[in-house]
Amino acid sequence: MMARCLARFLVSLLALAICNAASVSHPISDSHRSAALDVFVPLDGSYKSLEEAYEALKSLEILGIDKKSDLSSGTCENVVKVLASPSSALKDVFYALSVNGILKCKTGEDVPKDIVSKLQAGAKDAKLLLDFYYSIRGLVLVKEQFSGTDLTLGDAEAIFRSVKALSQSDGRWRYSSNNAESSTFAAGLAFETLAGVISLAPSEIDQSLIQTVKTGILKLFDSIQKYDDGTFYFDGSEGPISTTASVIRGLTSFAASESTGLNLPGDKIVGLAKFFLGVGIPGDAKDFFNQIDALACLEDNRQGYFHAIYLFSVPLILSLPSTVISLTKKEPLKVKVSTVLGSKAPALSVKLAEALNSKGSSVINNQELKFDADSATYFLDSFPKNFDVGKYTFVFEILLDESANEKGYITEAQTKVPIAATGAIGIENAEIAVLDSDVGSIESQKKLDLTKDGVVSLSANHLQKLRLSFQLTTPLGLVFKPHQAFLKLKHESQVEHIFLVKTYGKKAELVLDFLGLVEKLYYLSGKYEIQLTIGDASMENSLLSNIGHIELDLPERPEKAPLPPLHPTDPYSRYGPKSEISHIFRVPEKLPAKQLSLIFLGLIVLPFIAFLIGLTRLGVNIKSFPSSVGAATSALLFHGGIGAVLLLYVLFWLKASSQNRFFFFRRAMSYSAAGFGKPGSGKRRIRELLTQSDNRFCADCGAPDPKWASANIGVFICLKCCGVHRSLGTHISKVLSVTLDEWSDEEVDSMIEIGGNDSANSIYEAFLPDGFFKPGPDATHDQRLRFIRSKYEHQEFLKPSLRITSVKAPSTKSSSSYLSSSLSKKFMDSFRTNPSSQQPQLEGMVEFIGLLKVTLKKGTNLAVRDMMTSDPYVKLTLGQQTVQSTVKKSNLNPVWNEELMLSVPHDYGSVKLQVFDYDTFSADDIMGEAGIDIQPLITSAMAFGDPEMFGDMQIGKWLKSHDNALIEDSIINISDGKVKQEVHIKLQNVESGELELEVEWLSLES
Rounded average pLDDT per 10-residue block, the chain, 1006 residues? 40 41 70 86 80 89 81 79 85 89 73 78 88 90 77 82 90 88 91 89 84 89 87 91 92 76 79 88 90 88 40 80 90 90 88 89 90 90 89 91 69 89 91 80 84 85 90 91 92 91 89 89 91 91 90 87 77 72 70 86 87 79 75 86 87 62 44 41 80 89 91 90 87 86 85 84 82 87 90 80 44 36 37 38 57 93 89 92 92 93 86 92 89 88 80 84 88 90 94 94 73
Q: Which residues pair with 25 in a beta bridge?
A: none
Residue 545 C-beta-side C-alpha neighbours within 13 Å: 22
Cα–chain center distance at 54: 33
Q: What would the CATH number be for the domain defined by 314-422?
A: 2.60.40.1080
Domain ranges of the chain: 45-151, 165-301, 314-422, 426-557, 585-619+634-657, 672-808, 838-1003
Residue 607 C-beta-side C-alpha neighbours within 13 Å: 11
CATH architecture of the domain with residue range 426-557: Sandwich (2.60)
Q: For residue 112, what pLDDT is reported?
A: 67
Fold of 838-1003: Immunoglobulin-like (2.60.40)
Cα–chain center distance at 129: 46
Cα–chain center distance at 344: 43
Q: What is the DSSP letter of 966?
A: B
For residue 268, with 0-12 CB atoms within 10 Å meaning exposed, 13-18 middle and 19 or more buried, which class applies?
middle
Residue 185 C-beta-side C-alpha neighbours within 13 Å: 13
| Length of the chain as a residue count | 1006
**Phi–psi pair at 991, nearest 5 degrees:** -70, -30
Distance CA 191, CA 183 (A): 13
Distance CA 174, CA 814 (A): 72
Distance CA 221, CA 313 (A): 16
Say if 426-557 and 838-1003 have the same CATH topology: yes
Sheet hosting strand 370-372, strand order edge to edge: 370-372, 377-380, 333-339, 314-319, 409-410
Q: What would the CATH number be for the domain defined by 672-808?
A: 1.10.220.150
The set of long-range contacts for 496-501, using a CB threshold of 8 Å and a minimum separation of 24, is 497/521, 501/468, 501/532, 501/534
Detail the DSSP E strand segments found in 835-937.
841-843, 846-860, 872-878, 881-884, 895-905, 911-917, 925-932
Contact 430, 450 (CB under 8 A): yes
Contact 555, 524 (CB under 8 A): no
- Closest to 97 measured CA to CA, from 135, 63, 131: 135
> Given phi > 0 = left and psi -120 to 50 = alpha, else beta, which region is 795?
left
Q: For residue 3, what pLDDT is reported?
A: 41
> Given phi > 0 = left and psi -120 to 50 = alpha, else beta, which region is 945?
left
Q: For residue 311, what pLDDT is reported?
A: 40
